[in-house]
Structures are given as structure tokens and as C-alpha cells.
Amino acid sequence: MKDVYINRIAKFLPNDAVENEQIEERLGFINGKPSRAKNIVLRSNQIKSRHYAIDKKGNVTHNNTQLTTEAIKLLCDADFKLDDIELLSCGTSTPDQLLPAHASMVHGILKGGNMEVNTVSGVCCAGMNALKYAYLSVMTEQVSNAVCTGSERVSTWIQSTAYENEIAHLGDLESNPILAFNKDFLRWMLSDGAGAMLLENAPKGDLSLKIEWMEGFSYAYEMETCMYAGGEKKADGSMKPWSEFSTEQWGKESVFSIKQDTKLLGDNILVKGVDSLKKAITKNGIKADDITYYLPHISSYFFKDGLYKEMEKQGVHIPFERWFLNLERVGNMGSASIYVMLEELFASGNLKKGDTILLSVPESARFSYTYAYLTVC
């Protein structure tokens, strides 16, 4: 088995940063009224700015494929060209179409040479699972290098126009509190962006990150769906897929909008997260003191103190001074968030040889968690 190193990391954030006061102007007003949930959610998540792949008039500037491609191009130079890529592994929860797969679309725009492509679906863990496929492929010598990505273009999913058909049938938005909060909630949380990493079988350049191990855990066997799109959650917790709705219902009931069961999220995301964290570090024989930098992907700073307290409760103590977060500057980009976080740390000039980094990514869709442990070399 070969050792695997992250030798290059890049991010692409579209257009200028959008401040809190500008969000509703950019995304539009639902039913022509300011959101009642917006200020509450923003005060809780503490996000100050984010990026959208739409302009001030609501016109699309980049699709997901283009965001991903731009991030990959930033990995390349005279020493590593597009033609040198042997494997492309792409994770996203917001592909531009159902078929073809996202990685195939990226390769189609990217060009370069013949390469293996792999697409990972899901929500936040999709980017980490794309990394794991690339990691395992290099480790087992299937390839000598791989590029992996995490990307999201969610802005068109949360524009006010996405809810117009449903609102027309409701008459009054306030008559449906689920639409008013569970759907509206995510409009102030999510944003667009892409990240990319180059993995190789030897360290190169002034700074490399050796992947020591990766672990994944799913609690879907005991937890019902929490975050979803392309279906509707029934009273018994099961899901009715979009293919079982009429085409008229797709718009009338906002079947394709992103929804969150906020109570289920709050009751379980931290408890399951720390449980899986303990499993990961115990299995691999490390302690909290062995972690120099802890990079937890959290959707809201509302969860920061709660996560810390739950870690303390379950016997995992990582002091805040070891945490590295950037949520307030870029928002929640789903599968791309951990890439952008790691890129900022990688480029910060603060890393030194021997430092260790723990990447921690939860996914609320059905409560999955993925971890990666890295050593600076």
C-alpha cells in the first residue's frame, strides 16, 4: 500500500461576497414579504457573508459543473497539467442534472486526457467520500494521482421563484408553518462554492498533508430522514419519492425544494456526531491531545458550544484554540465546506511539519459522519 499525500488544494467562490443585508435582494422575497425567519436564523448561525453563483438580477453566472471545473483548474500549472490527471472523483448534493453523472459533466468541460471518473452523491459527506475514493485508489496503486472535489450550486434552489407555484396554491404563506420555517430556514444557511484537492503517492512542494486514515459512519439504520429534496416526508417518517408524484404536484408542493426537519436535527446531530467521533479516534488509536487542528464542518455557530459540551460529556476534550472554522466568512457550502476550510488552513502559513489535522464532517440527511486524519509533512 502506498502512502497518500494531499499536495495541492484550491477553492473557487463565485462572484463578490453577499452580506446579510443583501441576501433577500439577491434570492428574492417569498410571497413579496420579508422573511420572519431570516433574522432569527442569521443571529443563530452567525454567518456574515457568503457567495452565490447568481448575479444581482438573479441571473445564473455559474452552474455546478463550472464551479467545480474552475476549482480544478486552480490546481494546475506548468508542473501539473490537466492531461496529468488519472482519476477525477467529484462529490455534490446539487448536480446540474439527474443524468449524466456530475463527474462526467465536469470531465466534459475540463477536457484533459482519458481518465477514470467517479461521482459521489449525498449531502455534506459527498465531498469527503469523493476524497476517500481518491485516497483508496492512490493507496492501492490503481493510480499515481487523483483529483477530488466537493461543490454546491444551491442558490437557484433557494431563490424565491422556486416557491412561487406552491405559494400560489397556498394563498397565504403563513398558513403553512412548515414552509415558513423548515424550508425558509435553509435559505439563510446555504451558499455556493467548490473545492478541489490533488492527491499523489509522494509528497511534493513545500507543504504536503499525509492522509493517515479515513473513517465513515451511518446511523440511517436507526434514524429517519432529516434533510431531503426530491421527495416528501410522510407522517410515519418514510419518504415518498418525486417519481411517485404527478408533474403538477412537483411545483404545487415544492417537491424539489430542500427541506430540513429542524427538531430531528437539533435532537440528534451532536449526540450521534460525538459518538461517531469517539468510534473513529478509538479505532485508530489516537487521543484528543494528538490533534493539533480540529476542523469540524458545522452548519451554524449555534451548534458550536453544544458540540463542545457534548464532546466534554462523552470524554473528548479538544479546546477551542485548536478549532479552525470559517463559516462566518463563506457560509455553509455543504460538500465543499471542508475543502474550503482546509484550503484556508493550508494557505495560512501557520502549519508546521508534524502538525496533525482532524477533518470532521456530519451529514444530517440521514445522519452520516466522515473523518480524515492528516499529518503535515
**143 and 10 assigned to the same domain:** yes
pTM of the model: 0.94
**163 and 241 assigned to the same domain:** no
What domain range is 94 assigned to? 5-206
Q: Residue 339's domain is classified under what CATH number?
A: 3.40.47.10
Number of domains in the chain: 2
Give the pLDDT confidence of 179-197 residue by residue, as tens digits.
445 566 788 999 999 999 9
**Residue 165 pLDDT:** 64
**309 and 325 assigned to the same domain:** yes
Q: Could you give the CA distance from residue 139 to residue 164 in angstroms, rounded to a whole number?
A: 49
| pLDDT for 175 beyond 60 | no
**15 and 155 assigned to the same domain:** yes
**100 and 244 assigned to the same domain:** no
| Section 72-81 average pLDDT | 97
**Residue 141 pLDDT:** 98
| pLDDT for 173 beyond 50 | no
**188 and 47 assigned to the same domain:** yes
Which of these three, 206, 232, 253, is where a domain ends?
206
Which of these three, 141, 172, 206, is where a domain ends?
206
Please, where are the H alpha helices in 284-372?
A: 302-313, 327-330, 337-346
Question: Which cell is 223 given?
Answer: 434514524
Class of residue 247 by CB neighbours under 10 A (exposed 0-12, middle 13-18, buried 19+)? exposed
**What confidence category does residue 169 fall into, taking pLDDT thresholds of 50, 70 and 90?**
low
Residue 331, SS3 per DSSP: coil
Give the pLDDT confidence of 104-163 residue by residue, as tens digits.
999 999 998 999 999 999 999 999 999 999 999 999 999 999 999 999 999 999 898 776
Q: Could you give the CA distance from residue 228 to residue 182 in angstroms, rounded to a whole number?
A: 11
Give the pLDDT confidence of 115-127 residue by residue, as tens digits.
999 999 999 999 9
| pLDDT for 32 beyond 90 | no
Which of these three, 206, 229, 262, is where a domain ends?
206
Q: Could you give the CA distance from residue 273 to residue 369 in angstroms, rounded to a whole number?
A: 7
Judge contact between 120 and 135, C-beta under 8 A.
no
Closest CA to 359 of 375, 347, 371: 371
**141 and 155 assigned to the same domain:** yes
**Residue 166 pLDDT:** 54
Judge contact between 199 and 5, C-beta under 8 A.
yes
| Section 202-223 average pLDDT | 97
**215 and 154 assigned to the same domain:** no
**Residue 34 pLDDT:** 86
| Section 193-211 average pLDDT | 97
Question: HSE on the CB side for 174, CA within 13 Å?
Answer: 5
| pLDDT for 237 beyond 70 | yes
**161 and 222 assigned to the same domain:** no
**325 and 365 assigned to the same domain:** yes
**163 and 215 assigned to the same domain:** no
**Residue 186 pLDDT:** 80
**Residue 36 pLDDT:** 79
| pLDDT for 170 beyond 80 | no
**Residue 291 pLDDT:** 98
Contacts of 243 (CB under 8 A, 6+ apart): none
**Residue 178 pLDDT:** 44
Across the chain, mean pLDDT equals 93
| pLDDT for 354 beyond 90 | yes
Q: Could you give the CA distance from residue 157 to residue 159 in angstroms, rounded to a whole number?
A: 6
**325 and 350 assigned to the same domain:** yes
Distances (CA, A) of 73 to 12, 202, 303: 10, 21, 34
